[in-house]
Structure 1
Amino acid sequence: PKDRAYTIRKIIDPNTKPSDLARPGHMPLLGAHADGLIGRNGHTEAVVELCRLAGLYPGGLLCELVSDSGEMMTAKELKALAKRFNIPLITIGMLAGFARSVLQKGQHRT
């Protein structure tokens, strides 16, 4: 767990050089489309877009929640979990719509 946390911190640090990390590593890396959710409506792009919109470095950690069956949670299961624990839930579509509205207002990504 500590080595994974270290790796995550290094991956999103813009000063990290390839030589700072061992390869092959123990964490799969994903690259987002350069245009974010405008270019591709995917989970990876949603993470990066959310960081950009928050004014943060455009890199983050993505994980999927697993249901009791061992499969990835469905939208229905995620909604139930969010309701149970009073967690706000947004969809990639909602985030993409917001990102488009920000760009249409002339605000630029960081």
Structure 2
Amino acid sequence: RTNRTLAQQSRHLLAAAWLTSAQSLLKHMKLFLLLVKLFFASAATLARSIPWNVGVAAGTPLCTPFGRESVVAAIDALKQGRLICVVDDEDRENEGDLIMAGEFASPETIGFMVRYTSGVICVSVPDERLRALDFPPMCANNEDPKGTAFTVSVDYKHGTSTGISAADRAATFRALADPTSTADDFCRPGHVFPLRPRAGGVIERNGHTEAAHDFMQLAGLKRVGVLSEICNEDGSMARLPELLPFCEEHRLVLTSIADLEAYIKEQQT
């Protein structure tokens, strides 16, 4: 009888131990599955927030900011449909602009620009193209201190809604770069701001408008360059101390208008 009692107690203890172990295992499995779910959710969020084609591809060395090599790297990045960052002189606007080729504009890349800039996105378009599209100056008397030559704002008419979304603006940029687009394909005013670069590029005027134009020309792309000024999270303009880590984080080639001007002069000799 005593042996039977001991055997029963042993079975009860073993059953209790097994149940405790099973409950512990189930708890840890639930925790593991939760961690896996969080991991994939974070990865998906990251993939949405940083488009694959924003900066230099992972595994490719990011060139040192500024200098001749940064111009060469920027040209290569633009050919691949990626964004670059171009700064002007400290005694000018002292700003860094995101620049990309209009023909490669996508909802993802324009969404990235909207997120990290003022949200006002411009596009450098050659004078002859603006005349063909019948885009007049925004005003008869340009009083901008830097002489930025805005035309009337526009939206692409076909396959768009209000014109303000990243997708709609991307469609407008692509249409501006499409030589088959005509004046009738755009409505005025709109949410995209074309800029008229000087004929001599950065040699004539060292502005971002001309830099976007010259970079597209050097890259052998349509001379339609999308550009917008990078801002800090508090809404202030990003200066070089903020631009350096920003470009490092997003793997953007960082160059300057001065570097571009020197490169062009070198090519001309």
What TM-score range do you get, normalising by the shorter chain? 0.7 to 0.9
Q: Is 1:31 equivalent to 2:196 in the alignment?
A: yes
Q: In structure 2, what residue type is equivalent to 1:64? A: E
Match for residue 68 of structure 1 among 230, 233, 247: 233
SS in 1 for 2:265: helix
For the pair shown, the structure with the greater C-alpha radius of gyration is 2
Question: How many residue pairs align between the two structures?
Answer: 104
Alpha-carbon distance change, 102 to 16 in structure 1, aligned in 2, over 3 angstroms: same
Query: In the alignment, residue 5 of structure 1 is paired with which amino acid?
Result: A
1:66 alignment partner AA: C
1:3-60 Cα offsets, whole Å, 9 max, x none, are 1111111112222211110111111111111111111100011111111111111111
- Give the TM-score normalised by structure 1: 0.85
Q: Percent identity?
A: 36
What SS does structure 1 have at the residue aligned with 2:255?
coil
**Comparing 38-47 with 75-84, which one deviates more in the overlay?**
75-84
Compute the displacement of 1:82 (Å): 2.3
TM-score after normalising by structure 2: 0.37
What is the match of residue 108 of structure 1? none
Deviation at 1:83, TM superposition (A): 3.4
Q: What is the RMSD computed on CA atoms of the aligned residues? A: 1.4
Q: Which has the higher strand share?
A: 2
Larger RCO (CA under 8 A, 6+ residues apart): 2
Gaps of 5+ in 1: 105-110
Unpaired stretches in structure 2, ≥5 consecutive residues: 1-165
Q: How does 1:70-85 map to 2 (within 5 A)?
A: 70-85=235-250
